[in-house]
Chain A
């Protein structure tokens, strides 16, 4: 039974990852982006859990719990740690118009598909077929980093990029050792915390975190 729906489940998780990435480009509001990030974390955890159950590795299931707690709950909570009322106001006005951004997302997905199939070959397993989605997430993360003005929206792009890297590693090699993953997750958490505090400081000091306007802060 599980063997039958295994490819479907992998596909569903990978599809959810891609969908949430595309929606992050689509939506302007910060709160929506954070919620999507949480969803993406959950989808990533589910993906790891499915792979773990399929290959009978309890370690992977543990990793999936870790991912769920850090990426699905922890990071979004940190990002949204501010009163809901004020965060709802925050609307991104991206440098790229949304229609063009969405079309770029589709093109990036194609590009990652072509690259992965040309350079690595897709292989026969369903995980191999899903691997381009990880690369697409990395590219979409970069797109967010480039096109967003606010520091916190850029942070979301960075996290999307990180999720993409994690997806690639899990889909191609069946995961990284648990210790490494643990350390890496903590690293990311630390970076996010630092950036978050930093962004908060910037806002109190300069009244905004639009990176465009911060070009001349040399000293």
Chain B
């Protein structure tokens, strides 16, 4: 029962938080660059506007254009349900197993790639192809960093991992955990199409991954695609936040703990959003064919993390 309450709270919280996070990221960037910015509520206004429009669809597009956005949003919402964001009380039959979480995320990746192909234009296919290439190359980093996290806790269940880190904080500064966290962060940047893998701010063909796929979508199709991507970013930032700074997360159910959990995860996500935004100012997008190099680097880090866990036992 407690698990259900936490899941509902997480879903509701992140549905409200995700657009705000995007607003904050954009506003911070605008402020640092000396622009006025549009305020942190603009993503909300965008979604409302898009939902009240008649979507335009191509005659040759199939049901994928309708189902894909739903699949993306559902996969992102499932992330919010399964990840230990506010509290670490999992469902008994569907614990927050990291392998399951990665696969749930991949449902969204696949849905987006298929939406990109469904438009029947060169742009959509290009974005889809690049997106899947990056997704394929990120996979080893993701799974190996999961492996590295699972070693101190003895399980790949994320809520147990977070609790272990809460109980013995010295694990957090161990080389295994530091390397794995860095590798996981690079992988998440790649998965959520942020700099330096993709530039979320441009519509220039040579730099596009994510934007290219959603060019043909409009109206509510576009709105749900955007919301799904935002939710994914927010949930994954929340995961990084809870792995790096597990304090504040709810372990024993209580009303006060729930409130603390909500506040702490909100703060963590927004702080990470600001860090991300400031960090992106100093980064340029790397060339597409240098992305594998970056991913190989993150893979090496994840691999060293696992090996180091056997070395420094």
Contacts and interface: CB of A to CB of B under 8 A. Distances in A.
A132 B309 CA distance: 12
Contacts of B170: 4-5, 8
B176 A15 contact: yes
Contacts of B292: 99
Q: What DSSP secondary structure best describes chain B's contact surface?
A: helix
Nearest to A8: B170
Question: Which of A4, A102, A133 neighbours the largest number of chain B CB atoms within 10 Å of its CB?
Answer: A102
A44 interface: no
A120 to B, nearest CB: 13
Contacts of B304: 18-19, 22, 105-106, 109
Contacts of A12: 173-175, 178
- Cβ-closest 8 pairs across A and B: A15-B175, A11-B312, A99-B296, A102-B300, A106-B303, A102-B296, A98-B293, A8-B170
Interface of A: 4-5, 7-8, 10-12, 14-16, 18-19, 22, 26, 98-99, 102-103, 105-106, 109-110, 113, 126, 129-130, 132-133
A166 to B, nearest CB: 18
A199 B279 CA distance: 37
Nearest to A106: B303
Interface string B272-313: 000000000000000000001100110111011001101111
Given A5-B170, A102-B297, A129 B311 contact: yes
A8 B176 CA distance: 10
A157 to B, nearest CB: 17
A130 B312 contact: yes
A68 to B, nearest CB: 20
Given A14-B175, A102-B299, A102-B300, 18 more contacts: A12-B173, A12-B178, A14-B308, A14-B311, A19-B179, A19-B304, A98-B297, A99-B296, A102-B297, A105-B300, A106-B299, A106-B300, A106-B304, A106-B307, A113-B310, A113-B311, A126-B312, A133-B311
16 contacts: A4-B170, A10-B312, A11-B312, A14-B312, A15-B174, A15-B179, A16-B175, A18-B304, A19-B179, A26-B293, A98-B293, A98-B296, A102-B299, A103-B300, A105-B300, A113-B311
B311 A22 contact: no
B245 to A, nearest CB: 17
Contact of B296 (A5, A103, A113): A103
Question: Which of A16, A18, A110 neighbours the largest number of chain B CB atoms within 10 Å of its CB?
Answer: A18
Nearest to B171: A8
B213 to A, nearest CB: 26
B174 to A, nearest CB: 5
A113 B174 CA distance: 19
Contacts of B178: 12, 15
A116 B296 CA distance: 26
B293 A132 contact: no
Contacts of A16: 175
Contacts of A113: 307, 310-311
A11 B310 CA distance: 11
Contacts of B176: 11, 15
Contacts of B303: 106, 109
B175 A11 contact: yes
Contacts of B299: 102-103, 106
A11 B174 contact: yes
A126 B313 CA distance: 7
A109 B307 contact: yes
B148 to A, nearest CB: 12
Contacts of A26: 293, 297, 300
B307 A110 contact: yes
